[in-house]
Amino acid sequence: MTSPSFRDTEFVVREIAQTCLDNEKQFGDLDSVVGDGDFGYSLARGFEVVVNDWDSYDRSDIGTFLQKIAVAITGRIGGTSGPIWGTAFIRAAGVVKGRDEISGDDVVAMLRSAIEGIKARGNADVGDKTLLDALVPMTDAAEQSIASGQDAAATISAAASAARAAADATTSMIAKRGRASYSGERSIGSPDAGAVAVAVILERLDTDWPNRITEEVETP
């Protein structure tokens, strides 16, 4: 049997996967403006495996489940995105290793660990026009919401708003990492595809969160 925290974790991972599949063209088109255009395709192929093999992942605990997801997407997502997204899941998994229940503070800790992993793996930071420019403000907003006593729905909504504003703000930035950095000032005028992906994922979570399954169910 899975715990409420575990079911919520499954829901979030499934939402991430489906969002990446449904927005393959949008993410690819954004990336093609100054990048190599494979971002949407790469993410979709990685999370396609997650959806197709959904019932087969080890659900011994939340950390193990996230680790298995990390291995799956790292093996299928091409380019620099595979190591980046895989690292995010691995680092998040490490925070909750052996756990079946997690709190809002744990979620923030998972996000912070994922951020640090992405920074180290991609040699990037906020301001370099990457997904970090949406992920960090999103996490800040979530942490503030949780600290003020807001529930999960309100926290996700705050995080989604912060992610969208931050993703839009990357439009005026010069890309400093990845293939987009080769274009220099030509990268100004379009938002970063990774940052937009973070915003779109959070907006979908915000919309779908009230409809998630909350009753006790038996894990396949």
Evaluate whether residue 112 is within a structural domain: yes
**Contacts with 207 (C-beta within 8 Å, 6 or more apart), sequence order:** none
Q: Per-residue pLDDT for the chain (220 aa), expressed as one digit of tens each?
A: 568 899 999 999 999 999 999 999 999 999 887 766 788 999 999 999 999 999 999 999 999 999 999 999 998 887 778 889 999 999 999 999 999 999 999 999 999 999 999 999 989 999 999 999 999 999 999 999 999 999 999 999 999 999 999 999 999 998 876 655 545 555 687 899 999 999 999 999 999 999 886 544 444 3
Evaluate whether residue 220 is within a structural domain: no
Evaluate whether residue 193 is within a structural domain: yes
Evaluate whether residue 218 is within a structural domain: no
- In this prediction the pTM is 0.91
Q: Which of 126, 158, 166 is nearest to 142 (CA)?
A: 158
Measure Cα distances from 211 to 11, 15, 124, 164, 177 in Å.
10, 12, 36, 22, 38
Evaluate whether residue 169 is within a structural domain: yes
- Joined together, the tokens standing for residue 153 give 């729905």
Q: How much is the pLDDT for 4?
A: 87
Q: How much is the pLDDT for 214?
A: 56
Q: How much is the pLDDT for 217?
A: 42
Evaluate whether residue 135 is within a structural domain: yes
Evaluate whether residue 217 is within a structural domain: no
d(CA 210, CA 2) in angstroms, rounded, equals: 19
Q: What is the CATH number of the domain that holds 199?
A: 1.25.40.340
Q: Which domain holds residue 31?
A: 4-211
d(CA 203, CA 206) in angstroms, rounded, equals: 5
Q: How many domains does the chain have?
A: 1
Q: How much is the pLDDT for 216?
A: 42
